[in-house]
Amino acid sequence: MSETRYDFRSDNVGGAAPEILEALVTAGDGTTAPYGDDDHTRAMNAGFSRLFERPVQAFPLASGTGSNSVALASLANRYGAIYCHGTSHINVYECGAPEMFTGAKLVALGGRDFKLQAESLEEALSLAGRGNPTRVQPFALNLTQPTDFGTLYRPAEIAALCDVAHRHGLRVHMDGARFANAIAALDCAPAELTWRAGVDVLSFGATKNGAINAEAVVVFDPGLAKEIPFLMKRGGQVLSKARFVSAQLARYVADDRWLERARQANENAGWLARELAALPGVSMVAPVEINMIFVRLPEVAVTALERGPFHFYRLGRDQRFVCRHDQEPEGMEALVDCVRKALAAAPASRASS
């Protein structure tokens, strides 16, 4: 039964892009050294270096939480503070993994559109008690790009935040679980969103955009790379047959299909958001900039959707719909239709929403 459902839960509910799957399958030919000392991993590194227009070091992992935690650990001291937005993935949805890997405290700030602002970061850091042994010492800034609510930092915003961070002695980690969607939406070079703006280490996610449990820690500051193999091993993040992740990532960045998929997913969500926003009683929770829609539908519509052949998530009184690149057009139309009909049948519900 579940196969007939239209699935808007997340972008990790789908399978693999054909060329990625093929790269995975052929990576099994022959024998090779384990733990990342192999040609596929070298090809992945070359690919990332091309993509970012400079030599980088990339480390393959299977888990996004692992990737964030290792990246942050590479920046950490042992009595430190990581500054992040209160709604960031590392703060809310990783069950304390960043804390366990780093030993640090996450300091959660607010900020409009689920984004940090340079001014409030500046103020928070100026009150952080640098050098005072009763206070945890700031060492890292986490930027989630796109945010967990699908909003986007512009390159200039990232640069301004990195500038504040660097002036206060922090280094910058970007959580790019949906990095492809950000690049596709902003139409800028990966370098522009990362190291040119001041990002020191990036969690590059591919799983949500057509890969199979394939993530990378991409290090722009060579000094950070040395400790990462130890931090990965200590965190159970080193893969015995790492080449099966590396091969996916090498293929992923070998051409522009990753961006095409992301662009299509973004466009799908844009269409869906416009249609929903035009209906009476519907309010958007966040601007729709990538493939995620956060919306508050009248309850009668939510109930109708839950009866119909749709998968999606409730977040308190709000709802989340995520579009994949291969989202079925008829599913999107059916969803809008279902909401429209539910609202038409129960106009009073608008007031109660």
Smaller CB separation from its own copies, 183 or 228: 228
Angle at 83 between CA 126 and CA 79, to 5 degrees: 85
At closest approach, how far in Å is the CB of 334 from its own copies? 15
Smaller CB separation from its own copies, 104 or 262: 104
Smaller CB separation from its own copies, 126 or 345: 126
Cite the DSSP H helix spans in the chain: 18-26, 39-51, 64-75, 89-92, 97-102, 118-126, 155-167, 179-186, 190-193, 222-225, 228-234, 243-252, 257-277, 299-307, 329-345, 349-352
Contacts of 79 (CB under 8 A, 6+ apart): 103, 136, 137
The C-alpha atoms of residue 286 and residue 189 are separated, in whole angstroms, by: 25
Which of helix, strand or coil describes residue 93?
A: coil
> Hunting for tokens 């998530």 — which residue is that?
313
Smaller CB separation from its own copies, 192 or 227: 227
Smaller CB separation from its own copies, 13 or 345: 13
Smaller CB separation from its own copies, 191 or 213: 213
Smaller CB separation from its own copies, 96 or 169: 96
At closest approach, how far in Å is the CB of 346 from its own copies? 27
Angle at 91 between CA 102 and CA 116, to 5 degrees: 110
C-alpha distance from residue 175 to each of 65, 235, 337 (Å): 10, 18, 35
Supply the DSSP string of 25-37, one letter for each residue. Answer: HHTTSS---STT-
At closest approach, how far in Å is the CB of 33 from its own copies? 7
The C-alpha atoms of residue 260 and residue 62 are separated, in whole angstroms, by: 23
Rg of the chain over all Cα atoms, to the nearest angstrom: 21
Q: How many CA atoms lie within 13 A of 311 on its CB side?
A: 18
DSSP-based helix, strand, coil % in the chain, nearest 5: 45, 15, 35
Smaller CB separation from its own copies, 39 or 333: 39
**CA torsion angle 145 146 152 157 (round to 10):** -10
Smaller CB separation from its own copies, 2 or 112: 2
CB-based contact 198:163 (threshold 8 Å): yes
